[in-house]
Amino acid sequence: MAKIEKEQVITAYKGRLFRRLLRYGRPYTSNFIIAFILVLAVTALTLYQPTLVARAIDENIENYGRPYAVTAQDQSQLNYHGVWLTRDFDLETADYESYGQIVYYDEHYYYFAGLSRSDVQFLQDRLSTLNEVVSQNSSADRLQINAGENLLEGTLLSREDLEVLRKDDINGILRIGLTYALSILIYALCNITQAFLLQKTGQAVVYDIRNELFEHTHSLPLRFFDTHPVGQTVTRITNDVEALSRLFSDVLVSVVANVARIIGYLVVLFCISVTMSVRTLVLIPLVFVLTAVFQVLFRKAYRLIRTKVSGLNTFLSEHISGMKLIQLFAREDHKYDQLKDTTADLYRSRMRELMYYSIYRPVVSLLYTLSVVLVLFRGSAGVLAGGITIGIVYIFIDYVQALFEPIQQLTEQFSSLQNALASGEKIFTLLDQKNTIEEKPDFTSVEKFKGKIEFRNVWFAYEEDDYVLRDVSFVINPGEKVAFVGATGAGKSSILNLIGRYYDIQKGEILIDDINIKDLSLKQLRQAIAQVQQDVFIFTGDIKSNIRLLNQEISDEQIVEAAQTVNADHFIESLPHKYDEPVSERGATLSAGQRQLLSFARTLAVDPAILVMDEATANIDTETEQLIQKALKTLMEGRTTIMVAHRLSTIQHADNIMVIHKGKLRESGTHQQLLAQNGIYKKLYELQLYSNN
């Protein structure tokens, strides 16, 4: 079985797995488009914000070195101690009588007034090397600079003077700050909107997939559940489906957005400086190679983890359900050791995944740090050489840092993608399970079944040619009470399953009212047949819901009437909440007899044409059986009834008793007729008489 599943998984993965997953997102295409537009807006804002900071640095914070020119009042709005100044000129072409210059030295600002153009040009050239020309006669409030034959003297600026002279720079910083704050607000609104939209869409997709899985599971034949553990199926519908949530709520849009961000950062950096970009981003290709290698490892790790989780859930489901048996035989320690082995396998798989992350993340962080070092090294050299500004260096540092962020996010998103794909493989393995019980599209419709059943040369095997029934033929007329008896494994229960077409036969025909059951719809066929089994399954809920079984066509009055008919009302009326009494899982608070009485009421409520009872009274005490026997006459009245029982005393009233031996119909007749034949039935009867005595 594991081999088959593995082959199906590999085929699905290599083929159309991702396209099949995307199919579930098609109904929500508009949501994805809106989210993608919002993510692109967020990406654009992410690219834009560092440029605002760079502008503030270059045009305002570091703009103290821009000279002033003395001008007329009508040409300027800047008045410094009665002198009107302007900075709106080009020093190379300007023609003013007097200039001014701010100089930053030893953590103080000084203002040099009354300068000529050549003096200003000298100071502009020396702003980064002032130590070489500062006069030793300088004091705390005076700064003297040797400009060849001239001695330039600047006055220490107070905070108030500095605010006046740099009024335009302060206003510029405020404008940029407000723009930056607005961009953050828009960024937050876009982020919140797209996150909510994607989360809502992701949950909607998960809802659709889970419903489809559950509906598909309902459609599968019993053969599937004979070969697949319940825990494995539950894992598919719960854990594996939940793993797909992030694929639709984050990964799909974010992967595209992060790729766009990476491309955007690279384009902007190369537009600013090709040479510096090449020198500082030399490690980026190594990051991509490293990411590609680890993605292969992550994919294998996630596949293994999904398999181990499924195995653990299967183990837990089976052993929690069988806890009573484990405790009866005092096997707790042994089962605990088994669980330790199972969880140890999952632990090792998880540790392997963590080991990959513990290697990948530090290596990427190291490469990021080295890239920032390269930016600082190359940028500092460029600033000192006058080739680039501090603002450009800031943009490079910010963009390099931002460039590694989407790369690392892509790694996590690819990991989530691998996790989702691994879960998708498991889910599609279940969805690809075919329903071998196929219905004809042009099935025959029957208004009301009479209850005639006929087997014509029926051959049936659960596995290949290991036949359980061999050339079985019989006819049950409408309203007849027929019992099947035989040794364990003779094929009695198989006959009951075949009537409801829970399995398909290999040879022969099965007819109801002279219509081949393969020509009928499964819903119509199974609605006409009600089964009362030895092991009664009670759902969590209440008494009423367990009789109705979500069939809203059954009224409360019909429920009460059915319970009264089978004498189930005796114990129901004694319960605190009567028909609304809560029932725990599997009906643990009810006795075996009470559960069986509920199953009889459940059967009578649907008013079937054919009644099937498989060891229906096997788990009932003598007193309860007497109550049921009184109700059976009413229950079987006007219905074709098929019974299977090991206690021959319970089927002696049958119109016809059929003896199944080693898959073949050996004898048939009434109780007295079969005893007279002195065959298999008589031996079974005498054996029970002897064992009872």
Contacts of 64 (CB under 8 A, 6+ apart): 102, 104, 109, 166, 169
Average pLDDT over residues 57-75: 83
pLDDT at 4: 38
Residue 373's Cβ-side half-sphere holds a number of Cα atoms within 13 Å equal to: 7
Residue 506 Cα to chain centre, angstroms:
40
**Is residue 98 scored above 70 in pLDDT?**
yes
Tell me the average pLDDT across 10-37.
Answer: 75
The SS3 of residue 79 is strand
Question: In this predicted structure, what is the pLDDT of residue 2?
Answer: 40
**What strands lie across the sheet with 467-476, from one edge to the other?**
467-476, 453-461, 507-512, 515-516
pLDDT at 34 over 50: yes
CATH class of 450-528+653-693: alpha beta
Q: What is the pLDDT of residues 461-504, one digit of tens each?
A: 888 778 889 999 999 999 888 988 888 778 888 888 888 888 88
The answer to whether the beta carbons of residues 202 and 250 sit under 8 Å apart is yes
d(CA 373, CA 357): 24
In three-state form (DSSP H/G/I as H, E/B as E, the rest C), the secondary structure along 270-306 is HHHCHHHHHHHCCCHHHHHHHHHHHHHHHHHHHHHHH
* Segment 364-388, tens digit of pLDDT: 778 777 877 777 777 777 666 666 7
**Average pLDDT of span 100-115:** 90
pLDDT tens digits, residue range 192-203? Answer: 898 888 888 888
pLDDT at 629 over 50: yes
Average model confidence (pLDDT) across the chain: 81
Cβ pair 426, 240 in contact under 8 A = yes
State mean pLDDT over 317-340.
Answer: 75
pLDDT at 175: 92
Alpha-carbon distance 536 to 533, whole Å?
6
Q: Is the distance from CB of 443 to CB of 515 less than 8 angstroms?
A: no
- pLDDT (tens digit per residue) in 210-221: 888 888 888 887
Residue percentage of the chain with pLDDT more than 90: 8
With a cut of 90, say whether residue 186 has pLDDT above it.
Answer: yes
* pLDDT value, residue 188: 92
**pLDDT of 5 over the 70 cut:** no
The pair of structure tokens assigned to 415 is: 């990991």
pLDDT, residue 627, reads: 67
The average pLDDT across 252-281 equals 78
Give every CB contact of residue 206 below 8 A, 6+ residues apart in sequence.
Answer: 241, 242, 244, 245, 248
pLDDT confidence bin for 631, thresholds 50/70/90: low
More confident residue, 27 or 256: 27
- Is 544's pLDDT higher than 80? yes
Query: Once rounded to an integer, what is the mean pLDDT over residues 103-120?
Result: 90
User: Does the reported pTM lie above 0.85?
Assistant: no
Is residue 157 pLDDT above 60, yes or no?
A: yes
Domain layout of the chain by residue ranges = 2-57+171-431, 64-169, 450-528+653-693
pLDDT digits (tens, 9 = 90+) for 412-442: 777 777 777 777 888 888 888 887 777 788 8
Task: Report the topology of domain 2-57+171-431.
Answer: ABC transporter transmembrane region fold (1.20.1560)
The pLDDT value given to residue 9? 43
pLDDT at 617: 62
Can you tell me the distance from the alpha carbon of 440 to that of 580, in angstroms, rounded to the nearest whole number?
41
Question: What is the pLDDT at residue 527?
Answer: 82
The stretch 572-599 carries a mean pLDDT of 79
